[in-house]
Structure 1
Amino acid sequence: MSENPSSTPLDRIALSKVEERISFLYAEKATINRDNNALTIHDYRGVAHVPAADLAVLLLGPGTRVTYAAMALLGDAGVSVVWVGEKGIRYYAHGRPLAKTSRNAMAQAAIVTNQRRRLFCARQMYAMRFPGEDVSRLSMAQLRGREGARMKRIYSEHSARTGVYWSRRSYNPADFDAGDPINRALTAANAALYGVAHAVIVSLGFNPALGIVHQGTDRAFVYDLADLYKAEITIPAAFDAVAGAQMDADRYVRHFVRDKVVEKRLLQRMVKDLLFLMEIDSEAENIEAELRLWSDLETVASGINWEEE
């Protein structure tokens, strides 16, 4: 075990490219330490060694303890660390993102601040929800109307499938208990999905506040991304939970969502969909970024006295 783990940082140039790494590794009820340039994950089953340079994002679940040496190694290897709930269905906090460049955040900002590109991106998002339909010429008002009709149909279909009574989507953010069982289950399920989306967004270096369809809150982009999967993940989970345990559905539904996140490989899909929507070919290839100064014509080198100019 290294006595001074931060004295000899890893060579970033030699690190694996992002697309060659394990995208997400989740650990819970374990102790994470360091053995040379590998992480050791110790739980009741024994000890597993994971090369830090081959890991993109480490999700720390409940009951996890991490040593200083392990965090130093994760930082040197450019690994994102996100503190999450069980199986990643809650987002609590994160360390530095895996992408050490600002490329993803700048690509996102360029889309959000350009009306034509933002509308195009919004149409792409809705197109992912309406397979086989042409939405390339629809306005935002038309897209919202079509989405509203689609959601109404989906709720009715799952109500008929499970026998759970459905009236309408109704909830009070300030009074969770005021809703009926299905609305409470939907709210709990969506909150879990927001946690997964938030973890993916920050790990890739995007800004969760810069939404495409949503805006005005620090999680606007989280709602954008999560909305792509509600019909597949949270709505069926909520109706199934209420059908199986109506009084405790809002508690059990998180387990339903957790299982679907794993079954559908949702983390990996979110990464792929995010890069597509933000018009990025692949995850950041350059782990080490060059710090430069902005200029109205072109960027210039930093760390230089420009007084003569």
Structure 2
Amino acid sequence: MSAVSKRSALSPRQLTRSDERLSFIYLERCTIHRDANAITAQDAQGTTHIPSATIGTLLLGPGTRVTHQAMSVLGETGAAVCWVGEHGVRYYASGRALSRSSALMEAQARLWSSPRSRLAVARKMYQLRFPDEDPAGLTRHELLGREGRRVKDCYRAEAARTGVPWRGRRYIPGDFTSGDAINQAVTAAAQCMYGIAHAVVTSLGCSPALGFIHSGHELSFVLDVADLYKTDIGIPLAFDVAAQDEEDVGPRTRRALRDRINETSLLNGCVDDIKRLLLPGATGSSESRGDRDVVTLQSDHDHQVASGVNHDGPEHYGDELW
């Protein structure tokens, strides 16, 4: 095997496109190293080789140790890296975003910066959650009122379905055990969903802070995205867990949500929903979805021109790459 320092970095054209990669790989309790342009995961059962260019996002769970050279090859091949809790349930930190394009970030900032388009995205989010309602023409106050009513209806319906007594949402920040079993389950599910949404948002290169419903917090957009799945996944699962047993409801909720995420391919669905919200006309290949590795220069009237050339005068006088 040649020395790592003698290997040249891969060019963007040599890398696997994002839509051809594995959406994520989760590793835990192992040592991650580099072998040529692959990473290796070594544990008590042996060593597994994983081509780094086929990884969308690498989720590092408890007990993982990763070498500098492994992180280097992951960076060269454009893989995102997130440090997470057991089986990807909680999100702690991340490396670079998976996407080399700023298209999603720019679209998010553009939509967020206009009150009209910001409200339009909020309405789309409401319709994603409750497709049987038409939010067109609703004000923000009306959206919040309808959302609150639908969530209350969801709590009552799940209580009736499972037989779990529901006396209202009770949660004191920082004091998880202050609520009853069902409130603890709802809190655990919500916290896990925030971690999952945070991992997806950062992997796509979006800003966690620029929310369309929530505002004023560093995770506003994360809270927006997590709430998309509150009434379909989070609340029903919390009631299912609380109905089984009131002991250790927090850990059991996290494990049950982990399994539900795998069953429903939630990570893939979350990526698609974010792209539909921010780039509604983007369909088909990765290039049309804003995954291109292209650098342009901003000119007048929102016109983009090629980078790497001298734009002084009517003609370009050769390349000016550094």
TM value normalised by structure 1: 0.91
- Give the alignment's Cα RMSD to 1 decimal: 2.3
**Structure 1 counterpart of 2:136:** 136
CA shift, 1:86, in A, is: 1.2
CA shift, 1:259, in A, is: 1.0
Task: Could you tell me which runs of 5 or more consecutive residues in structure 1 were left unpaired when the two chains were aligned.
Answer: none
**Structure 1 counterpart of 2:292:** 286
Runs of 4+ in 1 over 6 A off after TM superposition: 293-297, 302-306
Identity of aligned residues (%): 45
CA shift, 1:12, in A, is: 1.6
SS at match of 1:40: strand
Q: Distance in 1 between matches of 2:279 and 2:132?
A: 21
Quick check: 1:6–1:72 contact (8 Å CA) kept in 2?
no
**Structure 2 counterpart of 1:35:** 35
SS at match of 1:247: coil
Quick check: 2:82–2:92 contact (8 Å CA) kept in 1?
yes
> Match for 1:286: what amino acid?
R
Are positions 1:102 and 2:102 aligned together?
yes
| Per-residue deviation, residues 94-131 of structure 1 (Å, max 9, x unmatched) | 00111223221111000111122111111111111112
Quick check: 1:209–1:221 contact (8 Å CA) kept in 2?
yes
> Match for 2:225: what amino acid?
L
State how 1:177-256 maps to structure 2 within 5 Å.
Answer: 177-256=177-256
CA shift, 1:67, in A, is: 1.7
SS at match of 2:211: coil
Q: Distance in 2 between matches of 1:83 and 1:245?
A: 31
Quick check: 1:2–1:35 contact (8 Å CA) kept in 2?
no
**Structure 2 counterpart of 1:124:** 124
Quick check: 1:5–1:72 contact (8 Å CA) kept in 2?
no
| Per-residue deviation, residues 106-158 of structure 1 (Å, max 9, x unmatched) | 11000111122111111111111112322222222222222112111111111
CA shift, 1:52, in A, is: 1.4
What is the count of residue pairs matched by the alignment? 305
Q: Distance in 2 between matches of 1:293 and 1:139?
A: 34
State how 1:239-278 maps to structure 2 within 5 Å.
Answer: 239-278=239-278
Task: Could you tell me which runs of 5 or more consecutive residues in structure 2 were left unpaired when the two chains were aligned.
Answer: 313-322
TM value normalised by structure 2: 0.87
Quick check: 1:24–1:55 contact (8 Å CA) kept in 2?
yes
Quick check: 1:108–1:278 contact (8 Å CA) kept in 2?
yes
Bigger relative contact order (CA 8 A; separation at least 6): 1
Q: Distance in 2 between matches of 1:189 and 1:132?
A: 25
Quick check: 2:201–2:207 contact (8 Å CA) kept in 1?
yes
Q: Distance in 2 between matches of 1:11 and 1:134?
A: 47
Q: Distance in 1 between matches of 2:27 and 2:6?
A: 23
